[in-house]
Structures are given as structure tokens and as C-alpha cells.
């Protein structure tokens, strides 16, 4: 009975297999390989609709974090777009999973198991207490093989990785095998405590696994349970990329960071942050440019304090600042001021109901009554979608929009 065996026996009952299903549309060639390439098929039958809807199934893992409230913690990408979620426990019981809340920026989601009773639960640990070299245990459902155990050590802490889904910070890196299907499962220490949530979003990794620290997950869970989503945060900073000219003027060896052009929050100014300074790092994460700053900021919650590394006329220094909630109301007001757009729901679409005179939107030719379908790849169906898109692209000088007018769609570039 080694510490690993004891931990596995204690925790495994709380580890669940998650089966999710989603409907996808695909183009089907009813003539098989008769026409060879798809472009030849579309040449002859381009006007006909051969799309079909299929049910796509995926596997993942999760862990019961509250047996009394029937709550399961998993990765957001495990249940993304799911029309149905089925959760299976080690003891053979199965339950329907209802999504309480999900946030792709943190890759975390909370499920509620309907009609469950007497659920085992994992004991929450303290990820701030993790040490490099410490033995850790991953339990999950890789490739459909239920309750598979892998062990390793903590290889590094505070890792930042770039993926197609975005920038993720503060990861635990481990050499314990974490494969597709392990996503959402627990990372345990030898005391039998939950210290991380495994994630397999970094497809390029071989022999490298990543997990979300449980202390960070706790903050996200609180917001997901209370509000169904994580409230966006900001520091009230507007900025621009550091070019070679600015880098030379400030004596930087590289053109990296974000030059602060404006400060909207009094608390940040009072903390000692000034316009004209360059944000070099946020909580130790090196900032590449303005867009990278926005992506990194999406990794924090309103419960956290941040440390900025700044470079300016006062030299290199660090400043502690408190994050502020970036409400939808604030975003919509700023969108009207910066972009010149006001929107409202129209059925399942989003309609432009006002275009401010002299604004970038008016100069582009957008009109009242136009339907806003897409912003920089983000589908627009509600005012919430619009507010979220503005939060993500508010500093961009150019934003690609898909707009419909008189039944015809147009891609246009909004220049600010």
C-alpha cells in the first residue's frame, strides 16, 4: 500500500467519465468516389443541398468536487457545444449532466448531476503549496479507457502556453501522461488532495502534461456557480504596440510590450501607473504586444490582484493594482464611443439600431437596420455576444465585420 495506491483508491470513486454529444453539419457526396475530388462534385451539383446533420460524440473526464450539491468540475472544451451530457461514476451509476456554467478562457466548466445521491467527492488541496519535483497522480478516461492512472512529477510551475483557443497562464507542467480523454480529470498529490485539473488542449505536447491549478479553479468555480460565467475584468488601460521607434526611444532591446496611451480607472492611476509607460509583464507573464495583453488579462478574475512590470521615465518598476469588473454596460457605452455602434436583438440576429455621426461606423457606411452577423470570427446573436466581442477587440485599429443588408452579406473592415 504505497502512497500512490492509497491516493488512487481514495480518489477514484469521485472521478467520472463524461460522454457528450453535439450535432454537426457535414456535406455528403451521395455518389461516393464517382466524381473523385469534392470540387468536381460541387461543379455539377453546387446548387443542391447535400448537407446532413450528424451526432458527434466525445469523451472526457471530470471530478466530483461537491457530493452534497452534486457538482462536477471538468474542462470547458470537454462539453463545448454539447446537446446532451452523460456522466458515469466508477461504481457504474450514470446521470444526466446539466451545465451550470462554462468559461473557455479558463477552460473550466461545472456540471450538476440530476437525481444523484451519496456522491463521493475529492478533497480540495492548495496548489500554492506545490513544489517542483513533487510526485503527482493523474486519473482520467484517455481514449475511452476508464479510470486510467498515470504518475509523474511536477516539472514546472506558472507555465504560459499559446494555443488555437487562446493564451493560458499559470499552468502546472507535469510529465504524468495526459492524453485526450484525460481532460477534466484530477491531478492529485500524495496526500490524496486535488491540486489541479488536467487539460489536453496543447496537442503539440509529447511527454508533457498541463493542469489548471486548483486555487485558480476555485475562483472560477465560485463565479460559474453564482453567475453561470466568469465576469470579464480590466485595468482601464488603453494602449498600442511598441514599435522600433518607441523601443529605441525607451532604450528597449526588443520591440515588445504595450505602451499605455490612456487610463480610465482612477484606482489604477492612484496605484502609480502612468501614461507613456510600457507594460512589460503581468503577474510575471511577458507581454508581447497589445493583443497579447488582452489575451493574458482574460486569465484573471475580479478576486485577484495583479502585479504590473512597467518601464518608463522612472525606469523599470513593479506596481500592484486591483482588477475591475468590465461590465457589459461599460463595454456597450465604450463601443458606442469608440466604434459608433449601438445594437439590439432582432429575432435570432443582432441589428444595428444607431450609427453615430462622424464615427468609424458611419465613415465605413454602416446604416441603421443592418444586421451584424460576425465580429472578427465571433458569431453575433445577442447583445451579450457584441459586448464580449468589444471587450476582446476594443483596442484593435481594424476589426473585420460580417454585415447583412437586404439579404446580402458583406465583409467590411471597421477602421478606428
In this structure, whether the domain defined by 123-227 belongs to CATH 1.20.1070.10 is answered with no
Distance CA 182, CA 154 (A): 17
Catalytic residue from among 103, 105, 107, 370: 107
Do residues 386 and 332 make contact, with C-beta atoms less than 8 angstroms apart?
A: yes
DSSP string, 94-157: EEEEEEEEEETTTTEEEEEETT--S---PEE--GGG--TT-EEEEEE-GGG-TTEEEEEEEEEE
Catalytic residue from among 12, 19, 77, 359: 77
Distance CA 296, CA 250 (A): 23
Annotated catalytic, 183?
Answer: yes
Tell me whether domains 233-325 and 328-415 share a fold. yes
pLDDT averaged over every residue in the chain: 88
351: nearest Cα among 376, 326, 368: 368
pLDDT per residue as tens digits for the range 324-380: 899 999 999 999 999 999 999 998 899 999 999 999 999 999 999 999 999 998 899
Catalytic residue from among 58, 183, 241, 370: 183
Whether the full predicted model's pTM is greater than 0.75, yes or no, is yes
pLDDT per residue as tens digits for the range 270-281: 999 999 999 999
- Name the 3-class secondary structure at 285: strand
Do residues 399 and 376 make contact, with C-beta atoms less than 8 angstroms apart?
A: yes
In this structure, whether the domain defined by 328-415 belongs to CATH 3.40.630.40 is answered with no
Q: Which CATH class is domain 13-113?
A: mainly beta
185: nearest Cα among 198, 195, 176, 175: 198
Q: Which three cell numbers stand for residue 221?
A: 468555480
- 284's torsion region: left (phi>0), alpha (psi -120 to 50) or beta? left
Give backbone dihedrals phi and psi of 276, rounded to 5 degrees, phi first: 90, -10
pLDDT of residue 145: 66
pLDDT per residue as tens digits for the range 126-140: 999 999 999 999 998
Annotated catalytic, 77?
Answer: yes
In the block, which residue shows the cell 473550466?
A: 108
Task: Give the residue extent of every domain in the chain.
Answer: 13-113, 123-227, 233-325, 328-415
Per DSSP, what are the bridge partners of residue 10? Answer: none
Strands 108-113 and 398-405, sheet pairing: unpaired
The residue count for the chain = 416
Question: Is the per-residue pLDDT at 31 higher than 70?
Answer: no
Do residues 302 and 231 make contact, with C-beta atoms less than 8 angstroms apart?
A: yes
With a CB cutoff of 8 Å and minimum separation 6, the contacts of 144 are 59, 181
Q: Which CATH class is domain 233-325?
A: mainly beta
Do residues 184 and 106 make contact, with C-beta atoms less than 8 angstroms apart?
A: no
Distance CA 152, CA 294 (A): 33
pLDDT of residue 181: 78
Please state, in angstroms and as integers, the Cα–Cα distance from residue 219 to each residue in 94, 300, 316, following that order.
28, 9, 31
Give backbone dihedrals phi and psi of 328, rounded to 5 degrees, phi first: -60, -35
Amino acid at each position: 500500500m504505497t502512497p500512490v495506491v492509497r491516493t488512487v483508491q481514495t480518489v477514484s470513486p469521485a472521478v467520472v467519465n463524461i460522454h457528450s454529444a453535439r450535432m454537426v453539419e457535414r456535406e455528403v457526396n451521395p455518389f461516393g468516389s464517382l466524381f473523385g475530388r469534392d470540387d468536381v462534385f460541387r461543379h455539377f451539383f453546387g446548387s443542391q443541398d447535400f448537407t446532413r446533420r450528424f451526432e458527434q460524440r466525445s469523451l472526457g473526464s471530470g471530478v466530483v468536487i461537491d457530493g452534497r450539491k452534486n457538482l462536477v468540475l471538468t474542462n470547458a472544451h470537454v462539453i463545448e457545444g454539447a446537446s446532451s451530457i452523460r456522466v458515469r461514476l466508477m461504481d457504474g451509476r450514470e446521470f444526466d449532466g446539466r451545465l451550470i456554467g462554462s468559461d473557455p478562457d479558463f477552460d473550466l466548466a461545472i456540471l450538476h448531476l440530476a437525481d444523484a445521491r451519496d456522491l463521493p467527492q475529492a478533497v480540495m488541496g492548495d496548489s500554492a503549496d506545490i513544489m517542483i519535483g513533487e510526485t503527482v497522480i493523474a486519473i482520467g478516461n484517455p481514449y475511452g479507457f476508464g479510470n486510467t492512472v498515470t504518475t509523474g512529477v511536477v516539472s514546472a510551475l506558472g507555465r504560459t502556453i499559446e494555443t488555437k483557443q487562446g493564451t493560458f497562464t499559470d499552468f502546472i507542467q507535469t510529465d504524468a501522461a495526459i492524453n485526450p480523454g484525460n481532460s477534466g480529470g484530477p491531478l492529485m498529490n500524495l496526500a490524496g488532495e486535488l491540486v489541479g485539473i488536467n487539460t489536453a488542449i496543447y496537442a503539440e505536447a509529447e511527454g508533457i502534461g498541463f493542469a489548471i491549478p486548483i486555487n485558480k479553479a476555485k475562483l472560477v468555480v465560485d463565479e460559474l456557480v453564482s453567475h453561470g460565467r466568469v465576469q470579464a475584468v480590466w485595468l482601464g488601460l488603453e494602449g498600442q504596440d511598441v514599435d522600433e521607434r518607441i523601443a529605441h526611444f525607451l532604450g528597449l532591446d526588443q520591440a515588445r510590450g504595450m505602451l499605455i496611451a490612456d487610463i480610465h480607472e482612477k484606482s489604477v492611476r492612484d496605484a502609480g501607473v502612468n501614461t507613456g509607460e510600457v507594460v512589460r509583464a503581468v503577474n510575471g507573464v511577458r507581454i508581447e504586444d497589445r493583443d497579447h495583453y488582452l489575451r493574458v488579462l482574460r486569465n484573471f478574475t475580479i478576486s485577484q490582484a495583479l502585479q504590473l512590470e512597467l518601464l518608463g521615465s522612472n525606469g523599470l518598476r513593479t506596481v500592484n493594482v486591483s482588477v475591475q469588473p468590465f461590465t457589459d454596460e461599460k463595454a456597450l457605452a465604450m463601443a458606442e464611443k469608440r466604434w459608433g455602434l449601438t445594437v439590439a436583438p432582432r429575432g435570432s440576429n443582432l441589428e444595428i439600431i444607431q450609427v453615430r455621426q462622424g464615427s468609424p461606423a458611419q465613415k465605413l457606411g454602416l446604416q441603421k437596420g443592418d444586421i451584424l452577423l460576425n465580429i472578427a470570427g465571433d458569431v453575433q446573436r445577442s447583445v451579450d455576444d457584441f459586448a464580449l466581442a468589444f471587450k476582446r477587440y476594443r483596442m484593435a485599429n481594424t476589426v473585420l465585420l460580417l454585415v447583412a443588408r437586404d439579404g446580402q452579406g458583406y465583409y467590411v473592415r471597421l477602421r478606428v
